[in-house]
Amino acid sequence: MQEELCSTPIPMVLIDFTDPYKQRGPCCFSPNARFLAAAVDYRLVIRDVVSLKVVQLYTCVDKISYIEWALDSEYVLCGLYKRPIIQAWSITQPEWTCKIDDGPAGIAYARWSPDSRHILTTSDFHLRLTVWSLLSTACVHMQWPKHASKCVSFTRDGKFAAICTRRDGKDYINLLSCHTWEVMGTFSVDTIDLSGIEWSPDDSSLVIWDSPIEYKVLIYSPDGRCLFKYQAYESGLGVKTVSWSPCGQYLVVGSYDQMLRAFNHLTWKNFAEFMHAPTLRNPCAATVFKEVDELLQLDVSELYLNDEFTHDMKGSHPENIAEGQLVKYKVIDLPITVPTQKPAADKPNPKQGIGLLSWSRDSQYVFSRNDSMPNVLWVWDILHLKLAAVLIQKEAIRIAAWDPTCSRIVMCTGNSQLYIWSPTRACCVCVPIPNFVVSDLKWSSDGSHLLLKDQDHFCCASMIPSIPDPKEEEISVSSEGD
């Protein structure tokens, strides 16, 4: 069934773009894909996703630094970290509001619990983690938490939380019931300075990885038994990114040594290692796409363009018309040398290793970006253990994201283009808004809309499937020999 799903061709798409709207802060879709929250300084604007009409408008007491929706899409919290306080709002009850102020301890991070009725905050300097109830106004404290963005993980069913703490020079995992918020169990882990934790998709185990100075990946059962320990090497920087496949059968680990390692959830053996090589040579089954600028060649000696047509063309491709160029992909023959940047040896957190890592919905593909090759996206076929595609961009890749409904990647590089890859094709699409520079993008949960952000505005793009004409030549991808 998985093979059948993966082999289903993805239809060609037309993209419909909305008008731009003002934003001056974070923006995100609600989990039910019905609403879009956008910060405009200290105002929180809630829009309907389809019409983009304003459905609610809230005023916070300071500039909004962070936005997160509750899982049921009934509430949304705003982090005002300059104060620092948290304000939460109800979509269905506009008069309801909640303000959280942790006093001198401050608030460095906040997030929702899976039940959408509790908010977890971490104080400055990681002094304590507090669970705030929206129902009873009660709160629960936990001392000495690790950084909450990566060291708090909830089970898929939302019944339990794993919270990492540190005391007396050792790291501990605390398992809490999300119903009573009581500690169900605590166990120490074999790490020097635990860096992250994540439940497996089937909630049967926990993956834990150590700080970058120590390569160590550990798998623990919820009762504290160490099921697996992996250390690829002893000297050098270690783990940088970790990700479970959606099906739960695979775990991939990206490291500072520019390698991607894959593990099986049954034996926990390392069954594949993928290298981000600076030179690609045959035999290699991957298709290499390279972004190029092609000069527009148009014979206008006998062509008359009226004002309306000229206006439409400029609106569709404002930068292309101005520069007389068309951005496209070319398929490059091997061998090819991948553009590489040497990280600075005298600076901390070197720009090398696997800094971007994400699975496709069907768990067949995983893409990665080696930070010392910031212009290159690598797409790996895990089922066939091979490199499927390499996309070489002119500029560094800012964001790349999988379509939640199919094996399609959309990415941006800080210009007016969207770059789209699927197993059957790749193309470049210009955003038809003058001076719109795509710096961030996010999918709605149902894959129907794509949020695009530039510095002061956002717009939405929707994918409109179209039936490809088999006789029509692919103009978005061409061979280098063409």
Asked whether the bond before 283 is cis by omega within 30 degrees of 0, the reply is: yes
- Beta-strand (E) ranges in 189-324? 196-199, 206-209, 217-220, 226-230, 239-244, 250-255, 259-264, 270-275, 279-280, 287-295
pLDDT tens, position by position, for the chain (482 residues)? 333 333 334 555 678 999 999 999 999 999 999 999 999 999 999 999 999 999 999 999 999 999 999 999 999 999 999 889 999 999 999 999 999 999 888 999 999 999 999 999 999 888 999 999 999 878 999 999 998 789 999 999 999 999 999 999 999 999 999 999 999 999 999 999 999 999 999 999 999 999 999 999 999 999 999 999 999 999 889 999 999 999 999 999 999 999 999 999 999 999 999 999 999 999 998 999 999 987 765 544 444 444 443 344 344 444 443 445 678 999 999 999 999 998 887 787 889 999 999 999 999 999 999 999 999 999 999 999 999 999 999 999 999 999 999 999 999 999 999 999 999 999 999 999 999 999 999 999 999 999 999 999 999 999 876 544 444 434 344 444 44
Residue 360's alpha-carbon distances to 12, 314, 368, in angstroms, are: 18, 35, 12
Range 45-50 contact pairs with CB under 8 angstroms and sequence separation of 24 or more: 46/76, 46/91, 47/21, 49/444, 49/448, 49/449, 49/460
pTM given for the model = 0.88
Domains, the chain, ranges and CATH?
1-23+279-341+350-466+475-482 (no CATH), 24-143 (2.130.10.10)
Whether 217 and 236 have beta carbons less than 8 Å apart is answered as no
pLDDT of residue 8: 39
Asked whether the bond before 350 is cis by omega within 30 degrees of 0, the reply is: no
Rounded to 5, what percent of the chain is helix, strand, coil?
5, 45, 45
